[in-house]
Structure 1
Amino acid sequence: MTPFEAATHSDPYIYYSGLRRQNGLLFDADLRLWIASSAKAVEAILGHPDCLVRPLNEPVPPAIAQGVAGVIFGRLMRMNEGPKHLCPRMAIEPALASVETDCIANVVSRVFETLDNPVENLDELMFTLPVSVVAALIGLPSSRLREVARLTRNFVACLSPLSDSTQLDEAHSGATRLSQLFSALLSKGDESSRFLSHIWSGCEASAWTDHDALIANLIGLLSQTCEATAGLIGNTLVALHRDPDLIKDMQPTLTLVADFVEEVARYDSPVQNTRRFVAKRCTIGDCVLEAGDTVLVLLASANRDPYANPDPDSLLVKRTQRRIFSFGSGRHQCPGQRLALAIASEAISAWLHLQPALSAHPYRWRYLPSLNGRIPHFYREQELSNDRRYL
């Protein structure tokens, strides 16, 4: 198994444990990259100033560099360092922190009511709902939410090296249309939503006036929400199907569900790995990394490191002092972590409220093709009785 295959393997965690036992940071000669698997190494790499989110000589992947999706990619704060990372973050992070729990709950409830049978159609619950909620918070009209969710899913294809030419064309088209929608929204000033008003205030406070970069990073909020939150919701459903007794004997209050979702984010991370690129020679632990080296950072392995989380292979809803690397750490830690967890918790709560006994409606699933994401795609058992690809 390779770390890339592990992301969508039925159980990658034995493999990760083996890597940690070899060395928390080791060089794989076949893959020609460093692999950080321990919590200590992962934290060190993510926090090191010379380990960057993109190679210095390739700020945008060549496959998309000549299209609209590439232009958006090049402006995303999570794909940049220095001012191009810090300025949009200073404007957007306070806005994300300002969203109140009750507001998230209300928006999730409204969006849930518009979905196409989310109890049976889990694709709606996983992909349409989270993006629609964030789009609504930003201020896009309800009549556009489903379109925005579809366009965002098209756009995120540009982030995967597995995408074919058709998917990349759709990503460019999606980026174009999303840019148009946000440009129209921003033309209204701060009147569209409370969230957008906070962003405008943050732009003013930080003297950040790059209109095109703001549009790109609003699209970035949707794209980060899309697959990561889909995976979080999906992996929570997987955990429930594997062990319905996890919450069977407990009243599924929102607090309990929120604890459960947060533990799933640690236990079965929707983002299994990320990469860092070494800008100049540096030392991590007892390893010397050279300029131009690539580091594969195994977030999911760090989550299961007993150094960070005692009894890491047990799913403990009431785990104390839980450490989660799924959202990164250091200067590029996801600023939307709280929002993603809240959306997923509200979505699971709504689903549990309507869902009959899990054992009466068994699912099977496989993981969508990816080198770093762990997102299940669900099917009914009766549809798959003769298909061995599914778990």
Structure 2
Amino acid sequence: MDPIIAATHADPYPYYAQLRAQGGLVFHERLNMWVASTARAVAAVLAHPDCHVRPAQEPVPKAIAGGMAGKVFGQLMRMNEGERQRCPRSAIEPGLALIDVDEVNSLVAARLITPHADGLYNAMFRGPVCVVAALLGFTPAQGRAISELTAEFVACLSPLSDQAQLDAAQAAAEHLRGYLIELLDDSDNNSPLLAGIRGRFTGDPETLFANLIGLFSQTFDATAGLIGNALLAVIRHPLLLEARAEDVIAETQRFDPSVQNTRRFVAAPCEIEGVSLDSGDVILLLLASANRDPQLNDRADVFLVDRPQRRSFTFGAGRHHCPGHVLALGIASATLREILAHRPALEQFAWAYRPSLNGRVPVFRDAS
């Protein structure tokens, strides 16, 4: 076991507890990086101005630099600091916070969800992207195409992708950009979300295209994992079938999050939690471990749907806190509710986590 393999381990949480016992910020020799495992250490790193989301010498991964996927990656607010992060965020975040819950519920309910493995896959991975596409003003048919393209594009975000997947991601980025150009040129678009974003945005069009693609890509794996891990919680604890979907999702994102870790890159010498860090150091932040820290949540290893004062790092914190966390929780809750309404025989599904260095996203298959 190591802090990266842990993300897709059957049960990484006892291991995370061992790491917390060793100290909040500890150097891992084999991985050649610092590991932040406690709530206090994770919070300190996320808040520190010299801990950046990308290494200064490689703002875009070499494997995708030069193509459209690389251009999109380099303009994403989540992959930038300073004004390149603040400008698109200030345009996009306010609208995401104002989306009507009933509209999200209606969009999810309108989708056909079937009680078998393929149906679960579409509900988890394709459905949430289709909802975001609809909120921006795309038609249902366009939303389905965008969800397929997003599935191909997200491969550029994973170091585990092979060349064929990276090539497909480059093509998908081109196609997604084309869809957005047409959307922004459509004078009949009546999306309040898109109108608000356009009204607040002051940057260049390519940055806007990139960050709208970013909405799709951030929705894809993270929301799928949240829904899938909630289903696993229901399988393990059938009494959760009687709980509100919103409460199950809220506790799942703390107890067994789809994003297990993230990284920060030290841009200048600094000291965090008594540890001296040098420029170029890499810090792996174990968000899932911090969520289970007893200093953050009482009875942290217990799944409590009625947990008071629930606290979590799943959606980040500070300047890079996920701007769409309310929407993500809403889509996941509505989707879980619809899946369970079809009464699938959950105990008959087999499942495995998708290969990942930071995500915990189960994929279900029919056991037979």
Alignment TM-score, normalising by the size of structure 2 = 0.97
Look up the match of 2:157. 159
Given that residues 88 and 203 in structure 2 are in contact (C-alpha distance below 8 angstroms), is that contact kept between their aligned partners in structure 1? no
Is the aligned partner of 1:223 residue 2:222?
no
C-alpha change, 1:190 and 1:299, in structure 2 (3 Å) is: farther
Look up the match of 2:197. 199
Distance in structure 2 (CA, Å) of the matches to 1:323 and 1:106: 29
Is the aligned partner of 1:381 residue 2:355?
no
Give the paired residue count.
367
Distance in structure 2 (CA, Å) of the matches to 1:62 and 1:299: 26
C-alpha change, 1:18 and 1:330, in structure 2 (3 Å) is: same
Is the aligned partner of 1:319 residue 2:313?
no
Q: Tell me the secondary structure at the aligned position of residue 7 of structure 1.
A: helix
Is the aligned partner of 1:298 residue 2:282?
no
C-alpha change, 1:190 and 1:327, in structure 2 (3 Å) is: farther
Give 1:31-42 correspondences, 5 Å limit.
31-42=31-42
Distance in structure 2 (CA, Å) of the matches to 1:164 and 1:356: 34
The alpha carbon displacement at 1:261 in A equals 0.5
Is the aligned partner of 1:272 residue 2:260?
yes
Look up the match of 1:210. 204
Give 1:39-188 correspondences, 5 Å limit.
39-110=39-110, 112-113=111-112, 115=113, 117=114, 119-121=116-118, 122-188=120-186
Look up the match of 1:352. 340
Distance in structure 2 (CA, Å) of the matches to 1:73 and 1:310: 38
Distance in structure 2 (CA, Å) of the matches to 1:127 and 1:357: 20
Given that residues 234 and 240 in structure 2 are in contact (C-alpha distance below 8 angstroms), is that contact kept between their aligned partners in structure 1? yes
Deviates more, 1:159-168 or 1:23-32: 23-32
Given that residues 115 and 342 in structure 2 are in contact (C-alpha distance below 8 angstroms), is that contact kept between their aligned partners in structure 1? no
Unaligned 5+ segments in structure 2 are none
Distance in structure 2 (CA, Å) of the matches to 1:282 and 1:64: 31
Alignment TM-score, normalising by the size of structure 1 = 0.92
Deviates more, 1:43-52 or 1:183-192: 183-192
Given that residues 54 and 277 in structure 1 are in contact (C-alpha distance below 8 angstroms), is that contact kept between their aligned partners in structure 2? yes
Q: Tell me the secondary structure at the aligned position of residue 268 of structure 2.
A: coil
Identity across matched positions, percent: 51
Structure 1 runs of 4+ with >6 Å offset: none
Q: Tell me the secondary structure at the aligned position of residue 34 of structure 2.
A: strand
Q: Tell me the secondary structure at the aligned position of residue 168 of structure 1.
A: helix
Distance in structure 2 (CA, Å) of the matches to 1:75 and 1:118: 39
Deviates more, 1:30-39 or 1:190-199: 190-199
Which residue identity lines up with residue 49 of structure 1 in the other structure? P
Distance in structure 1 (CA, Å) of the matches to 2:197 and 2:360: 31
Distance in structure 2 (CA, Å) of the matches to 1:140 and 1:358: 33
